[in-house]
């Protein structure tokens, strides 16, 4: 199998060195070049075009956003943004995702070498997902064999049906690679009079708050990063923070949000499996579950538990997915009652809500 060729563009020599070591250690990828800014990178790209680009945000001579816009217009290529954990960088990096970047890896201001080394799995996972994205022809599916925890680590399996009937209806959505764009396309089409929505989008801490704020500026619904203990209200969207599991529970006739720390589940925190299991337990047939684009299988088990509990369960179809991984695994497990294109989800959500209101 040909290795995934990765181009690193970052003005930090330490970052280039550590990323090169991480990537070249992985059996399925290799660094084809490492450049200190986009101007130097173009020289390498003229000789050999990479499969995936890891791109810094702020660099001399040409910033990452300008370069990304140029690449996507002239020669669309999977790009993973490498950004610092700051609010300012979060806003800029979200702009990059809207321009076509497929994922984010983070770096701190200090201790970069140690941090990047500890994040090796996250980095290589992002590169694998990017290499499979539909920005260009995708290589065969690649998965990693590392053992991973299930939602049992956070919440035990539901026993019997959900709690007593209530008139409240909620929607739970899980997504990963390509999900920021998918969620924006869905949520911006929903009116204020819509069901309460809870979301797990795989995204680093700090970025989830900026993502929620961006959506809030674009949507009629009110979008916030979940803080914990909120009542899930119609017309509101709650995005899981990037370092906590988000669960739904019941308080009387109302649904509430609970945030929990804990281990990674299905290699993620927050985990879609954890969200979906909690919805299966406490909402059952009063909920709709949606699994969108993303690599891996997080959410597949939980969505099956939702379907078994009586929830309506939908998956994004292969044609509209950036990465048809999570929905595909959910289909394999019999978790998805119907697949829809991205454009069909807003009407499906509204039809479900109005049919039961």
Catalytic residue numbers?
Answer: 176, 202, 298
Structure tokens of 140? 């065969």
Quick check: helix, strand or coil at residue 3? coil
Q: What is the 3-state secondary structure (H, E, C) of 291-357?
A: ECCECCCCCHHHHHHHHHCCCEEEEECCCCCCCECHHHHHHHCCCCCEEECHHHHHHHHHHHHHHCC
What are the beta bridge partners of residue 294? 324
Cβ neighbours of 29 (radius 10 Å): 22
Contact call for residues 200 and 325 (beta carbons, < 8 A): no
Within the chain, residue ranges assigned H as helices are 13-25, 38-47, 64-74, 87-99, 112-118, 120-131, 179-187, 207-218, 272-282, 300-308, 326-332, 345-355
Cα torsion 85, 293, 23, 5: sign: negative
Distance CA 33, CA 44 (A): 7
Residue whose pair of structure tokens reads 């970047």 in the numeric block: 101
Which residues neighbour 265 within 8 Å (Cβ) at sequence distance 6 or greater? 148, 149, 150, 151, 153, 154, 245, 271, 273, 274, 298
User: Could you tell me which of 52, 129, 65 has the C-alpha nearest to residue 94?
Assistant: 65
Structure tokens of 89? 């960088």
Which residues neighbour 164 within 8 Å (Cβ) at sequence distance 6 or greater? none
Distance CA 9, CA 60 (A): 11
Distance CA 127, CA 295 (A): 11
């Amino acid at each position: 199998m040909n290795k995934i060729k990765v181009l690193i563009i970052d003005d930090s020599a330490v970052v280039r060195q550590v990323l090169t070591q991480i990537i070249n250690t992985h059996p399925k990828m290799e660094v084809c070049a490492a450049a200190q800014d986009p101007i130097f990178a173009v020289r390498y790209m003229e000789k050999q075009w990479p499969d995936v680009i890891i791109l810094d945000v702020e660099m001399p001579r040409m910033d990452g956003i300008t370069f990304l816009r140029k690449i996507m217009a002239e020669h669309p290529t999977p790009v993973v943004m490498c950004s610092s954990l700051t609010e300012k960088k979060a806003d800029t990096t979200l702009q990059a995702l809207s321009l076509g970047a497929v994922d984010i890896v983070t770096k701190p201001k200090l201790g970069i070498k140690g941090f990047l080394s500890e994040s090796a799995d996250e980095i290589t996972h992002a590169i694998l997902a990017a290499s499979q994205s539909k920005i260009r022809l995708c290589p065969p599916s690649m998965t990693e064999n590392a053992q991973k925890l299930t939602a049992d680590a956070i919440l035990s399996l539901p026993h019997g049906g959900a709690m007593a009937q209530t008139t409240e209806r909620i929607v739970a959505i899980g997504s990963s690679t390509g999900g920021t764009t998918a969620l924006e396309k869905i949520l911006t089409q929903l009116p204020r009079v819509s069901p309460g929505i809870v979301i797990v989008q795989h995204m680093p801490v700090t970025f989830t708050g900026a993502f929620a704020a961006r959506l809030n500026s674009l949507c009629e619904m009110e979008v916030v990063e979940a803080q914990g203990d909120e009542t899930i209200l119609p017309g509101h969207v709650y995005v899981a923070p990037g370092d906590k599991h988000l669960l739904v529970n019941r308080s009387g006739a109302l649904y509430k949000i609970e945030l929990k720390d804990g281990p990674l589940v299905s290699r993620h925190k927050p985990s879609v499996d954890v969200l979906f299991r909690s919805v299966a337990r406490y909402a059952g047939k009063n909920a709709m579950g949606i699994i969108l684009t993303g690599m891996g299988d997080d959410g597949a088990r939980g969505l099956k538990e939702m379907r078994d509990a009586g929830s309506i369960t939908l998956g994004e179809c292969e044609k509209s997915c950036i990465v048809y991984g999570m929905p595909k695994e959910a289909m394999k497990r019999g978790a998805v009652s119907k697949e829809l294109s991205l454009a069909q989800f807003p009407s499906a959500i509204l039809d479900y809500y109005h049919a039961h209101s």
